[in-house]
Chain A
Amino acid sequence: AQKVTQAQTEISVVEKEDVTLDCVYETRDTTYYLFWYKQPPSGELVFLIRRNSFDEQNEISGRYSWNFQKSTSSFNFTITASQVVDSAVYFCALVYNQGGKLIFGQGTELSVKP
């Protein structure tokens, strides 16, 4: 079965703190993609990153970084020096061999307080 688990339902931090959002996935397929999306109160989904199953390199984009570890089936997302504008719901998602269908995690609501 394909499944994505985001165990943290809500996280609250103070501005400038670092925060890590956890994502654990399950799939039997060897070829798959993992995504992170940000959903602000407006509802739209903002694409953050896509990583394929064959690329385990960690990635950094500004204050954002991602740690992909196949050994633990995890794809964690870290925001460094968080800002109030980072407040949103963040979703981790999985696309597997059948292509196109996303399996979303439950989402983590991040609240960054000034």
Chain B
Amino acid sequence: GAVVSQHPSWVICKSGTSVKIECRSLDFQATTMFWYRQFPKQSLMLMATSNEGSKATYEQGVEKDKFLINHASLTLSTLTVTSAHPEDSSFYICSVGGGINEKLFFGSGTQLSVL
């Protein structure tokens, strides 16, 4: 069964609205989760590292006020795209684990389309 549950799988929203994406670790407690973004026909780029109980660490060029990350428990991280615009339309995917000697698991991804 799935180790990481990501929800929703796809979402269509109007420009200016906010969208929340959830990433749940089902089988183990995760102090760290990762969020990636993939534009069409492009590679996956790390957006941020979600840290349980503390602020997320954002990669260069990613707006932290635009992409709010909350990691309130050891099994749940959320990514909120605030005031979404068409250029935010992308495939967002989370991962759990992957540290040295750890297995790494991906969620199934969320396709966001902003009209």
Contacts and interface: CB of A to CB of B under 8 A. Distances in A.
A99 B44 contact: no
A95 B32 CA distance: 14
B111 A102 contact: no
Q: Among B44, B97, B102, B108, find the residue whose CB has the most chain A CB atoms closer than 10 A.
A: B44
B34 A102 contact: yes
B43 interface: yes
B104 A95 contact: yes
Contacts of B106: 37, 44-45, 47
Interface residues of B, number: 23
A107 B39 CA distance: 12
Q: Among A47, A99, A103, find the residue whose CB has the most chain B CB atoms closer than 10 A.
A: A99
B98 interface: yes
B108 A104 contact: no
B43 A102 contact: no
A82 B63 CA distance: 42
Nearest to A44: B108
A87 B36 CA distance: 23
Interface string B21-65: 000000000001010100000111110010000000000000000
Interface residues on A, range: 20 to 34
Contact of A100 (B91, B95, B108, B109): B95
A101 B100 CA distance: 11
Nearest to B108: A44
Nearest to A97: B100
B49 A104 contact: no
B37 to A, nearest CB: 11
Interface of B: 32, 34, 36, 42-46, 49, 91, 93, 95, 97-100, 102-104, 106, 108-109, 111
29 contacts: A43-B91, A43-B108, A43-B109, A44-B108, A44-B109, A45-B93, A45-B109, A47-B106, A95-B104, A99-B32, A99-B98, A99-B99, A99-B100, A100-B34, A100-B97, A100-B98, A100-B99, A100-B102, A100-B104, A101-B49, A101-B98, A102-B44, A102-B98, A102-B104, A103-B46, A104-B43, A104-B44, A106-B42, A106-B43
